A and B are shown apart, each in its own frame.
Chain A
Amino acid sequence: MPKLTLNGVSKAYGATLALRRGDLEIAAGEVHVLMGSNGSGKSTLCKIIAGSVRPDGGEILIDGRSVTISGPQSAREQGIGIFYQELSLAANRSVEENICLAMLPVKAAFFVDRPALKARAARYIELFAGVSGDGFAAETLVGNLRADQRQLVEIMKALASEAPILIFDEPTSALDRAQVDRFFDILRGLKRDGRGIIFISHRMDEITAIGDRVTIIRDGETIQTLNLSETDPAAVIRLMVGGAGDMPASQSSAPAVASFSAGAAMTVDRLSGAGFRNVSFEVAKGEILGLGGLHGQGQSAVLRAIFGAGSVTSGEIRIGSDRFDAKSPRDAIRHGCAYVSGDRGRDGVIAGRPIIENVTPIHYLRDRLMIARPSGLKAKAMPALEAMHTKFASLMHPINSLSGGNQQKVIIARWLIDRPDVLLLDDPTKGIDLSAKADLFALIRQLAADGLGILLYSSEDAELLGNANRILVFNGGSVTRELTGEDRTRYNLYQAAYEAA
């Protein structure tokens, strides 16, 4: 009898179906891998099992009994433990307290039983003895630990729940080789105890090393469950991609090779910093260079670092033939660099202020203006807004009165009054509607045709495949693959993204 069964579980957020149909069966004593691209629905599935999201339909069975998981507390009572990708530790408490946080041992019904707490925490700390690194001790405050050590504490905390069913959502992202090996040994021990383990990772080598079976999720649906011993990584990726994944990118969209005769717009040479290392590339004038790969593999970090808003520890950047080290966005803008973030609420929109003031800040800086004359500014702002097909009633209306897509158009328009040489696009279409996206990419290609060098990171692979002349695939902070011409296929993009870093 399977430890955990999900039958036709579904979840919708408003009109968006996050999970169309989830079918899953976890046997006792297996490590069951979930695979799917960003937004395919695997984290929704995990949240339903862990009780933090209530499903709209379907059935959950534990040990053959139908159950209702009403919340995280109820999940714990039903024997489900979870490792959260976003660590859920208390920074100002010690390692041992964090491990036992969910179930503090008490005595006299009120006081924390310190010796019991220490003894219990020590069991789990002992599991990682020798690989947990310098400065790792039961009494250390979690806030003083390195990222990998904090991840170990989170793992220990999940293990301490002693739950028969354990979910690990990307538990190894910060760990080194020895720590991963030790963790996998522990997982094998848990398998022998007959626990059921759900494991999510994007590293193909880890999946084949520890997994018994794999279930593939695509577009909110569990597609298929395979025995990992009877399949190979290529077949798994093909299932994730779906049909037509081997087709090269549609050639009507972007030429396979941009002409390099115009020269380089920007050269990045062995650049390293927080979140990326040893990144080198060249963007030609008139080229759209795509940055691909899974979320958070260093794409945004590189773009922000180039723009002077992130850290650079070594390497160099050149615009044309001039050395370019922006100490701040202000510096970068002065040197002809532009940056559009997908997180417009944080990085772009000056909320509550008129549209015109949201279009003009770059113009102020690049033209060293002191006085803001409305008629002069209007003449500058209108063509830029029209180039983006922005819909608005008056320049004096607050930007908040516009839809998300139109807000993003205003943010992009601010870079069009004084043209930059290099445009950095950091997932620019996040959360905007389809017609705004179409307008946006039409403009981006026009800008490239005008001779700008464009760097485009997108979390939607179709946008990269449809617009980029070349695609650099990021994995673990480095560029692991470059896709050009006929190689720009969805399959190749996935394969490079899921390779071991």
Chain B
Amino acid sequence: MNAVLSFLKRPLVIALLLIAALLYLGESLSPGFASADQVLRLLIVASLLGIVAAGQNVIILGGREGIDLSVGGVVSLSAIIAGNVMNGADGGILPAILACLAAGAFFGLLNGLGVTLLRIPPLVMTLGMLGVLQGLLVVIRNGIPSGRAAPGLSAFVTQPLVFGIPGIIWLWIAIGLFMAFMLNRTVFGHRIYAIGSNEHAAYMAGVPVRRMRIGLFMISGMFAAIAGLCLLGYSGSSFANVGEQYMLSSIIAVVFGGTSLAGGKGGYTGTMAGALLLVILQGILTTVNIDESGRQMVFGATLLLLMLFYGRGKAMRA
């Protein structure tokens, strides 16, 4: 009985049970909600969120109140860069990927340098960076939408690729496997947990703490950039602040999946479940005609509620 109870208390199991419950709720509110087509659509949307949350995940795991509030800005910027570089031509996909990754890595580098060398708290540093990015977006676009997705990219995100499943879902699965491998089987992964759990001890054991932290912010920037690119494929063209919603939802997905905001504890599998859960919740809220502002309120409240459940183990500012 105790074994069953402790199994049921694992965050991942809770999340999976909640997913099933929410799908059932959605189906009963609006028949067809849990149909194969709809579930596939939900999975595509969850993939986009999940990819952003992968970066958010490693930063939060790295501890020292690590958080990346600039991911939304990077997603938007990346979508615009990709749209303008490829401008509807398949030949532009590869250059677009490279340009987006470079941009994501660059802004991640700036975040990382600010946090390590200037010792700006991540919350403040990445919030400032978000402001910079939002300003940059206005300057680049000058209010005029520009750039279109290449047909190849749109097909990759929205059309079935293998076994009737779109490429982006395969990409997400690949990222999930990559993250599991990196966190559990590589020295880099072990060091992420080490700096997240006891930064000073890690330093005394020869872990290059600063370089690691800069690297984590670059990884986060690049994941956000990939998500931005795929988002362009999903929506066809880029529009203002298309990535804005990812700031809060990526954090919620990570916390939902059982990763501690204090760092050093958690993993990506839970985050994937968390992303799926949030997307389904969002779908239900849409189904019952709750508008964007209402959804934001529900999301914010969800995060606070999660903190109440998970966040009591360890004080954030120890």
- A residues sitting closer than 8 Å to B (CB atoms) are 307, 309, 328-330, 333-334, 339, 341, 346-353, 357, 360-362, 364-365, 369-374, 414
Contact = CB atoms under 8 A, between A and B. Distances in A.
A372 B204 contact: no
Contacts of A349: 198, 201
Nearest to B205: A361
Contacts of B207: 330, 361, 365
Interface centre among A309, A348, A349, A364 (most CB of B within 10 A): A364
Given A350-B198, A352-B264, 5 more contacts: A329-B206, A330-B206, A333-B206, A348-B201, A372-B187
Contacts of A360: 190
B203 interface: yes
A350 B202 contact: yes
B194 A350 contact: yes
Contacts, number: 79
B265 interface: yes
B266 to A, nearest CB: 10
A360 B206 CA distance: 11
A309 B191 CA distance: 19
A353 to B, nearest CB: 6
Interface of B: 185-191, 193-194, 197-198, 200-208, 264-265
Closest 7 CB pairs of A and B: A361-B205, A330-B206, A365-B206, A333-B206, A364-B187, A347-B204, A350-B194
B204 A339 contact: yes
Contacts of B193: 350, 353, 357
B222 to A, nearest CB: 19
Contact of B206 (A341, A351, A361, A370): A361
B58 to A, nearest CB: 16
21 contacts: A329-B206, A330-B206, A333-B206, A339-B204, A341-B204, A349-B201, A350-B205, A351-B197, A351-B198, A352-B197, A360-B190, A361-B191, A361-B194, A361-B206, A362-B206, A364-B187, A364-B191, A365-B205, A369-B187, A370-B188, A371-B186
Nearest to A370: B187
Nearest to A341: B204
A374 to B, nearest CB: 8
A347 B197 CA distance: 12
A171 to B, nearest CB: 31
B40 to A, nearest CB: 35
Contact of B201 (A330, A347, A371): A347
A351 B194 CA distance: 8
A277 B189 CA distance: 41
Contacts of B194: 350, 353, 357, 361
Given A353-B264, A357-B193, A329 B203 contact: yes
B313 to A, nearest CB: 10
A347 B200 contact: yes
Nearest to B211: A330
A210 B200 CA distance: 43
A339 B201 CA distance: 11
Contacts of A353: 190, 193-194, 197, 264
A39 to B, nearest CB: 26
Contacts of A371: 185-187
A427 to B, nearest CB: 15
A339 B205 CA distance: 9
Contacts of B205: 329, 333, 348, 350, 361-362, 365, 414
Contacts of B208: 330
A373 B185 CA distance: 6
A351 B198 CA distance: 7
Contacts of B203: 309, 328-329
B54 to A, nearest CB: 20
B99 to A, nearest CB: 28
A418 to B, nearest CB: 11
A384 to B, nearest CB: 14
Contact of B265 (A334, A347, A352, A374): A352
